[in-house]
Structure 1
């Protein structure tokens, strides 16, 4: 083995197996490219991205850690999101949730079922 070398098992690596997912169509209505990192709470991304925001509460991009997805101005595409794990407690980003996703949904009247 060479120092710093990575060795992985043969075959595909499956990410986020068994986690709830949702697909949403996203359109960049801004005049600048927007890049979203793998663990950014999608509900709180740049307001120039237009999509069903309520459906993305508690979700992030379903891509490998440390990677990102870029939306060019005027670009539209469908992305797959995966639910945050654990206690679904989210702090930071744009500061819209700042606590439990379940409590945020209840406080903001978002408890209706969303088709996933």
Structure 2
């Protein structure tokens, strides 16, 4: 039992993926907030309101960048899936072609041996 959803797991697999995605995003938010606090903490001259504004903007910028990264990765995954599906279909056609050629060759050889 690996804990990972199996392919074809259906609705429960989709739910598992959504929960995992949600938890990963919440971890990203918590990380951005922690980094924002550390960044603003080094600026001793800021007032409380200014510190909160810097933290808010830092978090917003971090999450915007993270979202762009995730969207770029998702687009690449879709692209790779298409490439792999195309390659698989090509290999399957080749395999069937070779199998048919071998069967035809063996049939011709058997017919030739029967004639002789």
TM-score bucket of the superposed structures, by smaller chain: under 0.3
Q: Which one has the bigger helix percentage?
A: 2
* TM-score normalised by structure 1 residue count: 0.19
* TM-score normalised by structure 2 residue count: 0.19
Structure of higher RCO (CA pairs closer than 8 Å, 6+ residues apart): 1
Structure ID, larger Rg: 2
